[in-house]
Structure 1
Amino acid sequence: MTASDNSSLLYPIAVLFDELKNEDSQVRLNAIKRLSTIALALGVEKTRCELIPFLTDTVYDEDEVLFALAEQLGSFAPYVGGPEHVHVLLRPLEQLATADETVVRDKAVESLRALATLQSSADLEAHFVPLVKSLAGGEWFTSRTSACGLLSACYQRVNSSLRADLRELFRALCQDETPMVRRAAAARFAEVARVVEPEHVKGELVATLVALSQDEQDSVRLLAVEACVGAAALLPKDDAKQIVVPLLRQCAEDSSWRVRYSVADKLIECQRALGKEVSKVDLVPVLPVLLNDAEAEVRSAAAGKVLAFCQNLDPYQRDLIIVNTILPHVKELVGDPSAQVRAELAAALPGLSPLLGKQCTVDHLLPLFLAQLKDDAADVRLNVLSHIGCVNDVIGVQQVAQSLLPAVVELAEDAKWRVRLAIIEYLPSLAGHLGAQLFDERLNALCCNWLVDHVFAVRQAAAGALKKLILKFGPEWAQSAVVPKVLSLAREPNYLHRMMCLLCIGEIAEVCGAEITMRLLLPTVLSLASDNVANVRFNVTKTLVKISPLVSPTCLQTQIKPVLDQLCMDNDFDVKYFASEAFVAIADATGIRIDSYVSNRPHSASKPAASERGRKD
C-alpha cells in the first residue's frame, strides 16, 4: 500500500472510529459489523496494538452491540496476524463472557472455543487456561457459568498438571453455591466427560454426577438426566449399569415432574447408550413408571417413546416383554383423561404390529385400535388412521375388512372435516390391500359422498384419490365404477357439484386414457360450456386445457375450437378471458395451434381481479 493509499484511508478510518464512539447504538452496531474493514486498513500491527485495546476499553455497551462484537472477534484471527497472535483477542472476549445478558456470554464462549482450536498447546497453557481459571474464580456467577463451557475446549491439549487443575475447577463449579452455575456445569457434563480420561470419569466425575442428580434445584436435576446419558455412553457397560441405571430410576420417580419428563424425553438415548442387555433388565421397569405418572406431560412423552423403546429391545425376547410388561400399562392409556396422551399413543401403537406378529396383533392390539378409532378427540382418530397401514401388512386384508372397515366407514362421515380428509388420504393405500371387488362392495359409495362434501378441501382430495384408485385398478374399472358417478354430477342442480365434475375430469382423464376421455369425458365437458353459471363456464376452459393432450387434432379443430370461440364471445368478462387464454395454453400443451376467429379477444396482459372466484367456494 502506497503513501497516497494510506492517506486516502485515514479519513474513512477516523470516521469508523468516531462511529464506534457514537452515542447512537445503531451507529455503533453498524461500525462493529465493519470491524474487518477497519482491521484491513490498519494492518495487523495496528489492529493488535490500537484497535483491540480500544475495543477492550469500550466493551461496556448495549447487548446488541456486545453480541455483534463477540461474534466478530471469533473470526478475527487473520486480522491480528494469525494463530500465534490469537491471544490478544482473549482479553475483550473474557470481558464479554462476564456480561449480564446470556446470549452475549454464550456468543463470547462460542468465539473463545473457536479461537482455542487455532492456538498451540503452549499458547493454551500460557493464555487460555489462565483465562478459564480467572473466569472460574470470578466474583459474579456470570463469569463462572462461562467457564463451564471452556474447560473441554482446552483440556486434551494441555499438560497433565493443568488437566488436574481443570478437573478440580469443574468439580468446584458443579458444587457452586449458585444454582445457575451448577446448571451450566450439568449442561456441559457430557462434553467434559468425553475429553477426560476414562479412569478419571469413573473415579472423579461419577461422584460429581451423583451430586448433580441429587441437587436441591430441579432445574439442575433435570440437566443431570442428560449428563447420565453422556456418562452411560462413555462408561463400560457393567459400570454404567451399576452407576447410571440407579440414577435414572431415581430421576424417574423424582418429586419434580420436569425431571421425570426429562427422563421420558431422553429414554431412547439412555436405552441406546446402555445397550440391549442392560435395557431389557434394568430400563424396561422404568417405562411403566413413566406411563403411569401423575402428570399428563410425562405420560404423553413416555407414550410417544413406546414404539422406539420396543424397537430397541432384544428381538429374541421383545414380544414377551411387550405383551407381559408394556402392553398392560398401554391399555390403560387408551382411556387416559388427556387427549394429548391418547394422541401420542395412537401414533405409536400401530407400529407395534410388525414387532408382535399377526396373532398378538389380533389378540392385543386390534381392540385398542377399534377403541381409538371411536375416540372423542379427532387427533387420536387421525393418528390411528395415519399409521395403520403397517397393520394391514401384518394381519391381512380380510382381518382388516372384518375388524377395522366398519370403523373406517363410520369415520368417513365424521363431523370433523380433517378426519374425513385423513380417511381419503388413507383410502388408496387401503384399496390396494382390499382389491377392486371388496373395495366396490364396502368403500366405493364413500367416494360419491366425498365428491359432494360441503368442504372444498375434502372434495378436492376425493378427486385426487380417484386418480390414485384408477392407477391401482385400471381404466376398465374406472369406466364402470368411477366415470358414471363423476358424469352424473354434471346434471346436479348445485353449480358447485357441476364444477366438481369438471375438477374430477381434469384429474382422472390422463389415467383413464385417450379413448375413455374422448368418448365419455369430453362430451360432458363441452355440454357444460352452455351452463347458466359463469364460474362453471370458465372452469370448462381450464378443463379443456388439461384434457387437450389426450384428444386428436381433428377433435381439437372440430369440437373444442368452436366451443372456445363461443366462450370468447360470452357475456361474462372472466369467461372471455379464460377462453382466450385457453387457445395459448392448448398450443403450449399439444403443440397444435388453434387460433380463435373471434376479433374482440380480451387483452391477456392484465388478469381480472374477479377471475379467481371459481377456485374458491
Structure 2
Amino acid sequence: MADKALDDSLYPIAVLIDELKNEDVQLRLNSIKKLSTIALALGEERTRSELIPFLTETIYDEDEVLLALAEQLGNFTSLVGGPEFAMYLIPPLESLSTVEETVVRDKAVESLRTVAAEHSAADLESHVVPTLQRLVSGDWFTSRTSACGLVSVCYPRVSQPVKAELRGNFRKLCQDETPMVRRAAASKLGEFAKVVEIEYLKSDLIPNFVQLAQDEQDSVRLLAVEACVSIAQLLPQEDVDHLVMPTLRNCATDSSWRVRYMVAEKFVDLQKAVGPEITQKDLVAAFQFLLKDAEAEVRAVIATKVKDFCSNLDKANQVQTIMNSVLPFVKELVADSNPHVKSALASVIMGLSPMLGAYNTVEHLLPLFLVQLKDECSEVRLNIISNLDCVNNVIGIQQLSQSLLPAIVELAEDSKWRVRLAIIEYMPALAGQLGQEFFDQKLRGLCMGWLNDHVYAIREAATMNMKKLVEQFGAAWAEQALIPMILVMSRNKNYLHRMTCLFCINVLAEACGTEITTRVLLPTVLLLATDNVPNVRFNVAKTLQKISPFLETTVIEQQVKPTLDKLNGDSDVDVKHFASEAIAGIAAGKKQFFETSKSKL
C-alpha cells in the first residue's frame, strides 16, 4: 500500500476513507494502525492539511478503533513536521478526550500530555492551555475528567497569570458536582502538588486536599490518601503536622473500609513522607488501629506492612516501640479468624527477628512461629518456612527444627499440588539451613517421594531439586546418599519410574562431574536402552545426548555410539528419530569443541 501511495498522492486518503466506511471493524482498525505509513507517503504538509482534518471530522467509530487512533496520534509529532507543528494534533486528541469510553479518554489524555510536552512555552499557552480551558468548561463530565490530566503538564511552563488561571481551574474541578470529575481531580492532586510553588501548595492545594478527603463519595476520599504522600513529602515537618496529619488521622478511622484499606496500602509511604517524629507521635497509634480493623481485607494488607513499618521506625526507640506498641497487636493476628490475614502476617513476621535480636526472638517471636507452623492453613505454614533465613541468621535454626519437621511433612503431602511445588522449590535452601545430617535423617525420604508424585510438574520440580541438593552437599554425598536411591527406580515395574530415573540422571551429570557420571550413572542408562517400553528407550537416546558433554571421548566412542546406533535401527519410529537426533547432536557438539579449542590455540 505504501509503494502505491508514493506513486499516487491521492491514494492514501481515498483508501483510508473507503476502509473507515467499511462495516468490518477489524479492517477499520488495521487502517488506523497504518496511519504512520500513510502520513509518510503524504508528506508533512499534506498530513497537516488533509489527513489530520479528515481524522478530526470522522471520530465516530468503535471504541477499539478510537483507542488505536488515540495511541497513534501520540507518536505523530515528527510526521506533521516536528514540535513547531505539534498544535495540529490537538484538535483530534481533544475530540477523543471527550468520548464516553474511559480507556479511549485515558489514552487520548496520555497522548495529549506527550504532545503538550513537545510544544514550546509560547505554543503551549497559545494552543494547549485554551484546549484545557475548553475541557474544564465542557458540558459533559467526560471532558472535565480529561482536563484533570493536563493541568500538571502545562503549569510549570506558563506565565504567572496563566498559572493563576490553572490553579483556579483545578479548584473548580475539585469542587465539580459530578463525582467522576472529583475522582479524576483527586487522582491528579499529588502530581499537581509536585509542580506548584510551595506558597500556593499551602494556600490553594491543601484546602482542595482537605475537601476531597472529606468528600461524600468514598471513591474520592481514598484517592486523596494517595495525594497525601506527595503533599507530605513537599512540606516542612511543622506544616505536615499542622496541615496534613488531621486529615490523615481522619482517613485512618474513616467509616468506609475502602478508605482505610488505602491508608493501610500506602502506610509505609506515608511513614517515610512524614518522618520518624510524627510517626512516633501519630502513626504508631494509627498502625495499631488498622491492625485491629473490623474488616479482614484491611487487617490483611496492614499485616504485610509490619516488617517495613518496624524497620523504618526511629532506631533509637525501634526495639522498645516494636515490643510495646506493635508486637502485642501482632500476637492477636497470629490467631486471627481469617486465613488471608494469618498468611499475610506469616510472610513478613520473620523479618522482625534481626531488629529484635536473639533474646527477644527466642522469648517473644519463637512462640509465635511455632503456633504458625501448626496452623491449619497450608499457606501460613509455607510462608513461615519460606522466610526461615531471617531467624537462622539471628538464633540459628536448630531451636525450630523439631517443630519444622511436622509442618514440612504436612506441606510435602498437601492435597494442593501448588503447595507441594512451593515446598519442593524451597527445599535446597531449607536443607542448607538445617544441615546435611538433619536432611539425611528427616527429609531425604520426602524428596525421593516427590519423584513418584502423580502430578508431572511435581516430578519435574523434584528432579531439579536433586541437582540443587547435590550442589548444596557435594558429589561425594550424592554418590553415597542420593544416587543409589535414584538408580533403584530403573528396576521399577512402572515405566514412569524408570523414565524419572533418566530425568534425574540428565540433571545430575552436570552436578556430579565426569568421573561419577561415567562410573555410576552411565551403566544404568545403557541398561535401559533395552527396555521393552519405547518411551523409555527414546528417553535413553535423549539422556545420552544430554550427558555426553560430561563423558570422555573414548567412552562416547566405545559405549555411547554403539548404543545409539542400535537404537537408530529400532522398530519404533520415535526411538529411531531421537537416536538419530542424539547422534547428530553429539557429532555437532564434538565439532564445536574442536573448533573452540583450535581458536584458543
TM-score, normalised to structure 2, is 0.88
Assess if the C-alpha contact under 8 Å between 2:83 and 2:119 holds in 1. yes
Q: Deviations over 1:163-221 (max 9, x none)?
A: 22221221121111111111111111111111111011112211111110000011111
Q: Distance in 1 between matches of 2:565 and 2:59?
A: 75
Cα distance, 1:230 vs. partner? 1.5
Cα distance, 1:481 vs. partner? 1.4
Q: Deviations over 1:74-120 (max 9, x none)?
A: 44444555444444443443333322222332233223322322333
Aligned match of 1:479: 479
Alpha-carbon distance change, 464 to 68 in structure 1, aligned in 2, over 3 angstroms: closer
Alpha-carbon distance change, 561 to 316 in structure 1, aligned in 2, over 3 angstroms: same
Q: Distance in 2 between matches of 1:545 and 1:435?
A: 34
Alpha-carbon distance change, 34 to 582 in structure 1, aligned in 2, over 3 angstroms: closer
Q: Distance in 1 between matches of 2:559 and 2:72?
A: 70
- Equivalent residue of 2:529, what SS? helix
Aligned match of 1:344: 344
Deviates more, 1:140-149 or 1:199-208: 140-149
The 5-angstrom pairing of residues 160-239 of structure 1 reads 160-239=160-239
In the alignment, residue 170 of structure 2 is paired with which amino acid?
F
Does residue 508 (structure 1) correspond to residue 514 (structure 2)? The answer is no
Alpha-carbon distance change, 55 to 6 in structure 1, aligned in 2, over 3 angstroms: closer
Alpha-carbon distance change, 452 to 13 in structure 1, aligned in 2, over 3 angstroms: closer
- Equivalent residue of 1:297, what SS? helix
Assess if the C-alpha contact under 8 Å between 1:378 and 1:416 holds in 2. no
Alpha-carbon distance change, 530 to 273 in structure 1, aligned in 2, over 3 angstroms: same
Aligned match of 2:316: 316
Aligned match of 2:493: 493
Aligned match of 1:9: 8
Q: Distance in 1 between matches of 2:101 and 2:483?
A: 67
Q: Distance in 2 between matches of 1:111 and 1:551?
A: 60
The 5-angstrom pairing of residues 100-115 of structure 1 reads 100-115=100-115
Aligned match of 2:18: 19
Assess if the C-alpha contact under 8 Å between 1:16 and 1:38 holds in 2. no
Alpha-carbon distance change, 235 to 515 in structure 1, aligned in 2, over 3 angstroms: same
Q: Deviations over 1:449-496 (max 9, x none)?
A: 333334343333333223222223223222221232223223333333
Alpha-carbon distance change, 488 to 205 in structure 1, aligned in 2, over 3 angstroms: same
Assess if the C-alpha contact under 8 Å between 2:490 and 2:498 holds in 1. yes
In the alignment, residue 583 of structure 2 is paired with which amino acid?
F
Aligned match of 2:442: 442
Assess if the C-alpha contact under 8 Å between 1:370 and 1:407 holds in 2. no
Q: Distance in 2 between matches of 1:240 and 1:269?
A: 14
In the alignment, residue 155 of structure 1 is paired with which amino acid?
Y
- Equivalent residue of 2:337, what SS? coil
Does residue 249 (structure 1) correspond to residue 249 (structure 2)? The answer is yes
Aligned match of 1:287: 287
Q: Deviations over 1:509-564 (max 9, x none)?
A: 33333333333333333333333433333333333333334444444344444444
Q: Distance in 2 between matches of 1:362 and 1:153?
A: 54
In the alignment, residue 443 of structure 1 is paired with which amino acid?
L
Alpha-carbon distance change, 290 to 530 in structure 1, aligned in 2, over 3 angstroms: same
Bigger CA radius of gyration: 1
The 5-angstrom pairing of residues 533-612 of structure 1 reads 533-590=533-590
Q: Distance in 2 between matches of 1:6 and 1:472?
A: 65
Q: Distance in 2 between matches of 1:547 and 1:78?
A: 56
Q: Distance in 1 between matches of 2:422 and 2:5?
A: 70
Does residue 264 (structure 1) correspond to residue 234 (structure 2)? The answer is no
Aligned match of 2:598: none
Assess if the C-alpha contact under 8 Å between 1:268 and 1:308 holds in 2. yes
Alpha-carbon distance change, 25 to 160 in structure 1, aligned in 2, over 3 angstroms: farther
Q: Deviations over 1:113-156 (max 9, x none)?
A: 22322333333333332332222122222222222222222222
Assess if the C-alpha contact under 8 Å between 1:392 and 1:400 holds in 2. no
Q: Distance in 2 between matches of 1:52 and 1:566?
A: 71
Alpha-carbon distance change, 557 to 17 in structure 1, aligned in 2, over 3 angstroms: closer
In the alignment, residue 160 of structure 1 is paired with which amino acid?
Q
Q: Distance in 2 between matches of 1:229 and 1:470?
A: 49
Q: Distance in 1 between matches of 2:563 and 2:44?
A: 78
Alpha-carbon distance change, 138 to 408 in structure 1, aligned in 2, over 3 angstroms: same
Cα distance, 1:569 vs. partner? 4.6
| Count of equivalent residues | 589
Alpha-carbon distance change, 81 to 328 in structure 1, aligned in 2, over 3 angstroms: same
Alpha-carbon distance change, 393 to 137 in structure 1, aligned in 2, over 3 angstroms: same
Alpha-carbon distance change, 179 to 402 in structure 1, aligned in 2, over 3 angstroms: same
Q: Deviations over 1:20-67 (max 9, x none)?
A: 873647465555545556655666555555554444444444434444
Deviates more, 1:361-370 or 1:398-407: 398-407
Assess if the C-alpha contact under 8 Å between 1:260 and 1:298 holds in 2. yes
Question: What RMSD over aligned residues (CA atoms) do the two structures have, in Å?
Answer: 3.1
Alpha-carbon distance change, 138 to 555 in structure 1, aligned in 2, over 3 angstroms: closer
Q: Distance in 1 between matches of 2:468 and 2:520?
A: 20
Q: Distance in 2 between matches of 1:540 and 1:80?
A: 63
Does residue 465 (structure 1) correspond to residue 478 (structure 2)? The answer is no
Alpha-carbon distance change, 224 to 490 in structure 1, aligned in 2, over 3 angstroms: same
Q: Distance in 2 between matches of 1:562 and 1:50?
A: 74
Q: Distance in 1 between matches of 2:392 and 2:514?
A: 35
5+ residue gaps, structure 1: 594-617
Cα distance, 1:296 vs. partner? 1.9
Aligned match of 1:362: 362
Deviates more, 1:260-269 or 1:572-581: 572-581
Deviates more, 1:116-125 or 1:144-153: 116-125
Alpha-carbon distance change, 588 to 101 in structure 1, aligned in 2, over 3 angstroms: same
Deviates more, 1:220-229 or 1:443-452: 443-452
Alpha-carbon distance change, 64 to 432 in structure 1, aligned in 2, over 3 angstroms: closer
- Equivalent residue of 1:357, what SS? helix
Assess if the C-alpha contact under 8 Å between 2:506 and 2:546 holds in 1. yes
Q: Distance in 2 between matches of 1:68 and 1:409?
A: 54
Q: Distance in 1 between matches of 2:33 and 2:418?
A: 49
In the alignment, residue 412 of structure 2 is paired with which amino acid?
A
Q: Distance in 2 between matches of 1:18 and 1:129?
A: 32
Aligned match of 1:607: none
Q: Deviations over 1:586-617 (max 9, x none)?
A: 33445699xxxxxxxxxxxxxxxxxxxxxxxx
Alpha-carbon distance change, 428 to 39 in structure 1, aligned in 2, over 3 angstroms: closer
- Equivalent residue of 1:285, what SS? helix
Alpha-carbon distance change, 54 to 369 in structure 1, aligned in 2, over 3 angstroms: same
Cα distance, 1:340 vs. partner? 2.0
Q: Distance in 2 between matches of 1:530 and 1:47?
A: 73
Alpha-carbon distance change, 538 to 70 in structure 1, aligned in 2, over 3 angstroms: closer
Q: Deviations over 1:394-437 (max 9, x none)?
A: 22142243443443344334444333333332222222233333
Aligned match of 1:139: 139
Aligned match of 1:598: none
- Equivalent residue of 1:530, what SS? coil
- Equivalent residue of 1:300, what SS? helix
Aligned match of 1:596: none
In the alignment, residue 134 of structure 2 is paired with which amino acid?
S
Q: Distance in 1 between matches of 2:526 and 2:262?
A: 64
Assess if the C-alpha contact under 8 Å between 2:373 and 2:403 holds in 1. no
Aligned match of 1:600: none
